Amino acid sequence: MTGKWARRAAISSVSSRLLGALALVAGVGLSGCSDVDSMLFGDSGSAPDTATASPVGTPAAPTAMPAPVSSTPSAAPSGIGPVATITPVTIEPGSDTGTAVSKTVASLRAQVSSLQGSLMSNAQRYIDLRSSGAGAAANYYESRGRITSRLQIGTTRGNPELVAEWNKAQSSLDQLAGNINALNALGTSVASDASSAHYALDQIGATFNVSGALDEDHRQLRVLQDETSQSIVLIDRLLSEVSADVQRQTAYVANERANLTTLASAIKNGELYGADISSPMLTATSAVAGTRMPYAASSSPLVVIRFDKPDVDYQQILYAALTEALKQRPGAAFSIVAVSPTRGTASAVQLAQTAAHRYAQDVLRSMTDMGVPASRLAVASQTDPSTSTSEVRVFVR
């Protein structure tokens, strides 16, 4: 009984890791906007189709095993990296001794053979999904690289060629998201096989206690017990790899969604600010910098943007200031204050306040485009007799 519960605890542990990965997928939005126009102007996008797991094949006869699925570098598709080697376990056919126990052994052998077929089918499906994901990732980075290189040297606002490249990158990322859904379905199938294999092993152990067996029946049971244990090792290994891939690809897709949002804003403006300032890489660097010199909230503004002429170009200066502030204090929040003058008639003062508030909303949108979470931003307004034009002041808080 102790071995039985230990085996069930092991499969429960592996299955819980898979369920944790499924919850992580549910927590991040894998669907994206259908094109860059919907990203920029707020149209609703369509979610990627959810991929389903392929049917699990069953061998025609217990002894007819599928060809080995090797994941060594020579057998795996180029560029996807090594995965666990899955070699089918040979199931000994056995002979019928005419006893009731022999019939039970034959039934159990058929179950284990069926699990072997399912294992090999799932292993091949896993390699196919990894290959598909690698191709989608390569296409995504090609499109993203072309966009970045054009923006780096400067281009027109809303360049249609870059819009088309952005749509290609979004399509590749949606394919990766669908790949994660397919991996989830595959993980569910492998987890089900793991449970069935552990149950079959328990049944084999219980059959040893059935009376009326011959020595040959027990010999076949011992052989089948070893074969089932080997199958469990392979199934659990595959389940662990699938679960790890789901978690890794989910984090990757969520991060690249944010990077695409930054690129969409850059295409709209025709220039590249830099990396998304909320990206994990910058956050990790920021945490180290923050331990050296904490960035304290101050009454002095981080940035003052004076709107004393049409089309004030403030984005690069604002981006640099925000990046530096978040390096020193990763969890910083910001106040965006619309400041208007008090000179002139009452109607002129009112118009200036309205203009300042509109400018503050523009700065707010720019900051969110740069990756600052909206939950960290607050907008306020005030008047200042010492200023002669509308301006926006950004404070760290």
Q: Is 304 helix (H, G, I), strand (E, B) or coil?
A: strand
Give per-residue pLDDT as tens, 30-82: 444 444 444 444 443 443 443 333 333 333 334 344 444 444 333 444 444 44
pLDDT confidence of residue 244: 86
212 alpha-carbon distance from chain centroid: 55
pLDDT confidence of residue 375: 83
Q: Are residues 108 and 40 in the same domain?
A: yes
pLDDT confidence of residue 208: 93
Q: Are residues 93 and 215 in the same domain?
A: yes
Partnered with residue 379 across adjacent β-strands are 336
Q: Are residues 151 and 67 in the same domain?
A: yes
Kindly state the helix (H) or strand (E) to which residue 151 belongs, with its residue range. helix 100-153
Q: Which two tokens stand for residue 189?
A: 């199938």
Q: How far is CA 207 from CA 24, 202, 280, 324, in A?
A: 41, 9, 54, 69
The residue assigned the tokens 């002979």 is 95
Task: Examine residue 51 and state whether it is found in any structural domain, yes or no.
Answer: yes
Q: What is the DSSP string of 38-87?
A: HHHH-PPPPPPPPP-PPPPP--SSTT-PPPPB--STTTSPTTS-----B-
Q: Is 122 helix (H, G, I), strand (E, B) or coil?
A: helix
Q: Are residues 321 and 210 in the same domain?
A: no
Q: Are residues 317 and 261 in the same domain?
A: no
pTM metric for this prediction: 0.56
pLDDT confidence of residue 58: 37
pLDDT confidence of residue 200: 92
pLDDT confidence of residue 272: 72
Q: Are residues 325 and 262 in the same domain?
A: no
Q: Are residues 231 and 295 in the same domain?
A: no
Q: Are residues 260 and 287 in the same domain?
A: no
Buried/exposed 305-333: b ≥16 CB within 10 Å, e otherwise: bbbeeeeeebbeebbebbbebbbbbbebe
User: Quick one: angle between helices 100-153 and 160-207, nearest 10?
Assistant: 160
Compute and round to an integer the Cα radius of gyration of the chain.
30
DSSP designation for 93: -
Q: Are residues 262 and 288 in the same domain?
A: no
Q: Are residues 323 and 259 in the same domain?
A: no
Q: Are residues 245 and 390 in the same domain?
A: no
Q: What residue ranges of the chain have pLDDT lower than 50?
A: 1-2, 5-6, 10-11, 14, 17-82, 279-297
pLDDT confidence of residue 56: 36
Task: Examine residue 275 and state whether it is found in any structural domain, yes or no.
Answer: no
At which of 214, 243, 269 does a domain end?
269
Letter for the amino acid at 294? P
- How many independent structural domains does the chain possess? 2
Which residues, in sequence order, are CB contacts of 18 under 8 Å at separation 6+?
Answer: 187, 188, 191, 239, 242, 243, 246
Of 108, 103, 106, 114, the C-alpha closest to 64 is: 114
Please, what is the Cα angle at 79 between 75 and 85, to 5 degrees? 35
Give φ, ψ of 336 to 5 degrees. -110, 110
Q: Are residues 27 and 146 in the same domain?
A: yes
User: Quick one: angle between helices 346-369 and 315-328, nearest 10?
Assistant: 60
Supply the range of the domain harboring residue 295: 280-396
